[in-house]
Structure 1
Amino acid sequence: MTIKVLVVDDSSFFRRRVSEIVNQDPELEVIGAAVNGAEAVKMAQELQPQVITMDIEMPVMDGITAVREIMAKVPTPILMFSSLTHDGAKATLDALDAGALDFLPKRFEDIATNKDEAIKLLQQRVKALGRRRVYRPVSRPAVAVPEPTRPALGTRPPLSQSLPRTASPSAPIRASGKSYKLLAIGTSTGGPVALQKVLTQFPANYPHPILLIQHMPAAFTPAFASRLNGLCRISVKEAANGDVLQPGCAYLAPGGMQMMVEKAGATGRIKIVAGSADMNYKPCVDITFASASKAYGGDVLAVVLTGMGADGREGARMLKSAGATIWAQDEASCVVYGMPQAVAAAGIATQSIALESMADAILKESGRV
């Protein structure tokens, strides 16, 4: 059975191009095309597509408003197309706030190095989203959360409306009693949502430095780091070459580059390099994890969250060989169960944990609960 797709864009050329690419794959079928957000909301209700591709800037109703309305009326996996600019990054993150699950650059030459690769990537992303159910949020009792030690930027809702949800929380995680010097988290598709969900629950005095590796274009990582920094009690910054690791600070790998860590006296230091041209991912979880295994050995808690592919598996294998602890997000709470599945299936992860329980589990393991 084919995955039904609704294409939304005010450009007739782009609607036609995306439709052609989608229909080239026998597992995909375009069942409709909308020229603005208002039409997209109406067609989503009438056609019940399994995936929607959505432009951001459109007349009548913009893509962000359309995403919000679709997620309220007929929750559907949505892939955003955006420009690789600062404004495009901010708008894309706003779309993820509203409930979109993934994004791609609108210019196909920015997606990949050649036409065939770009076509394949778009088809893969659509299929990955089409295979996942979007769960309606479950009503839960309110939980008191301490006020941030510094004011949050804006009043955005949590990036969680469209996340898959487990039927019940995973079993409570008991702390192993092991001590750590570093937390490293790798993720891809669905990662911006997942990272915000986890990091906003950390206290300002979290005891270790945190490395964040999110597959994301270079134009997006400064805006994403800034957004997380405004919403979290810990500090979050885009990593820079030479940064000395500090407890309670998260360092986001810059898009288009590779982030490594090296020992510098009693602490660690960030090293940012361009990396080889043949690397599939920039940043790459494997590279950061591998460097952490050399710098910190077994004193690392590494977590692999939602994402396509298997990036992180080999780096996690090196970490585990050095004595580090590896956790994976569980299948039910992932947008795409690719990266976590890779480490779990290889026997590298010792725990598979639901996203809603991940922050609590990390805090317990780190001695903060």
Structure 2
Amino acid sequence: MAVKVLVVDDSGFFRRRVSEILSADPQIQVVGTATNGREAIDQALALKPDVITMDYEMPLMDGITAVRNIMQRCPTPVLMFSSLTHEGARVTLDALDAGAVDYLPKNFEDISRNPEKVRQLLCEKVHTIARSNRRYASFLSAPAPASAPPSPAAAAAPRHAPAAPQAAAPQASTPKRKPYRLVAIGTSTGGPVALQRVLTQLPANFPAPLVLIQHMPAAFTKAFAERLDKLCRISVKEAEDGDLLRPGLALLAPGGKQMMVDGRGVVRILPGDERLNYKPCVDVTFGSAAKAYGDKVLAVVLTGMGADGREGARMLKQSGSQVWAQDEASCVIYGMPMAIAKAGLADAVYSLDDIGRHLGEACA
């Protein structure tokens, strides 16, 4: 059955091109278009699309306000188009907070120069987030990301009962405490909101250093790190070459590059290798952590498409480290955690809202 898509953009050219690209896929049907946020809401209610592509800057009502209204009235996976600027990153992160699932750079030059690449990426994104639809309502009904750091008491309290066990991986109610030298978290689609939800539960005196690997363009990671730093009690910054790991500090891998750690606690930022699909790549960081710290790493794989992190997790397991995976029910896209669970690499599977609490319990 074809994926039904509503295309929303105030630019007639972009609206037509997106519609043409999507319609060329026999498994996608463009059921309607809209030129502003108000039209988008009306069309979403009337047409009940499986996916909405959404621009931000539009007359009468902007994309973020439209997304927020759609999520309240008829929750539908939304793919945002955004500019590759610091302001574009801020706006995109606001849209993800409002309920959008994923985003794509809005680049007219790419459409002209690389039409086949644009077609492949756009159609792949639409198909992927359409498959998230079954879990989307439950994801949106979960507590919204914190707008301010919670109190220490609130952070320590469980927000939900533990999730039901999954056959593919063990379920631990309370993790064993251990003096981990590093916590490494990898994620992709759905990750910005998921990371925010996890990290806002950690106390300022969290005893271990953290490294974060989020699939994200180079123009976005600095803005994302700044956002997390404002919301969390721990410190968060975009990693730079030579940064030192220290307790209570989370270093976010810069977009377009690779992040590695060494046994002295020094972070190395390397150019993005064109042979790798992901820049940054979870496997690269996890693999370096396994080599540097042996059994003293706690790795967590959150929501995301694909299988990045699986081979790095395998290396960590071989070194004696612990690996956790997010459960299917709380994932936007159950790809990366599923790869961990299916490979038998997960020591525990937790719901998103339990992971932050369990990190506090596990790190001595």
TM-score normalised over the length of structure 2:
0.90
Residue of 151, 161, 165 corresponding to 1:146: 151
Deviation at 1:118, TM superposition (A): 2.6
Q: 2:225 & 2:18 partners in 1: Cα distance? A: 30
Q: 1:49 to 1:169 in 2, by over 3 A?
A: farther
Structure 2 residue aligned with 1:328: 325
* Cα RMSD after superposing both structures: 2.2
Q: Which residue of structure 1 aligns with residue 59 of structure 2?
A: 59
Partner of 1:257: 257
Q: Which of 150, 156, 163 is the equivalent residue of 1:170?
A: 163
Structure 2 stretches of 5 or more lacking a match?
154-158, 165-171
Letter in 2 for 1:170: A
Task: Note closer, same or farther for the CA distance 1:322–1:233 as it changes in structure 2 (3 Å cut).
Answer: same
Q: What percent identity do the matched residue pairs reach? A: 61
Counterparts of residues 1-369 of structure 1 (less than 5 Å):
1-107=1-107, 114-132=114-132, 133=134, 134-135=136-137, 137-138=140-141, 145-146=150-151, 169-170=162-163, 173-264=173-264, 268-367=265-364
Could you say if the C-alpha distance between residues 230 and 273 of structure 1 is closer, same or farther in structure 2, counting changes exceeding 3 Å? same
- 1 CA distance for matches of 2:340 and 2:87? 35
Alpha-carbon contact 1:109-1:115 (below 8 Å) kept: no
Report if the CA contact (8 A) 1:109-1:118 is conserved: no
Q: Which has the higher helix share?
A: 2
Distance apart, 1:109 and its partner CA: 5.8
CA contact (8 A) 1:194 1:305 kept: yes
Opposite residue 209 of structure 2, the aligned amino acid is P
Q: In the alignment, is the contact (CA less than 8 A) between 2:200 and 2:231 conserved in 1?
A: yes
Say whether the 8 Å CA contact 2:162–2:173 is kept in structure 1: no
Displacement of 1:147: 6.8
Distance in 1 (alpha carbons) for counterparts of 2:41 and 2:17: 21
Kindly state the Cα deviation for residue 76 of structure 1 after the two structures are TM-superposed. Answer: 0.7
SS in structure 2 at match of 1:263: coil
Give the structure 1 partner of residue 168 of structure 2. Answer: none
Report the TM-score when normalising by structure 1.
0.89
Paired residue type of 2:317? K
Q: Residue 262 of structure 2 aligns to a residue in which SS?
A: strand
Distance in 2 (CA, whole Å) between partners of 1:316 and 1:38 is 45
- Which digits, 9 at most, give the CA deviation of each residue in 1:23-60, with x for residues without a partner? 22222111000011110011011111111000011111
User: By how many angstroms is 1:123 displaced?
Assistant: 1.1
Q: 1:120 to 1:291 in 2, by over 3 A?
A: same
Quick one: higher RCO (CA 8 Å, sep 6+), 1 or 2? 2
**2:87 partner letter:** D
- The answer to whether the 8 A contact 1:285-1:312 is kept is yes
1:290 Cα offset (Å): 0.6
Unaligned stretches of 5+ in structure 1?
149-165
Write out per-residue CA displacement over residues 318-358 of structure 1, whole angstroms, 9 at most, x where no aligned residue: 11111110111111111111111111111111212111111
Q: Post-superposition shift, 1:114?
A: 4.3
C-alpha distance in 2, partners of 1:73/1:135? Answer: 11
Cα distance in structure 1, aligned partners of 2:361 and 2:263: 26
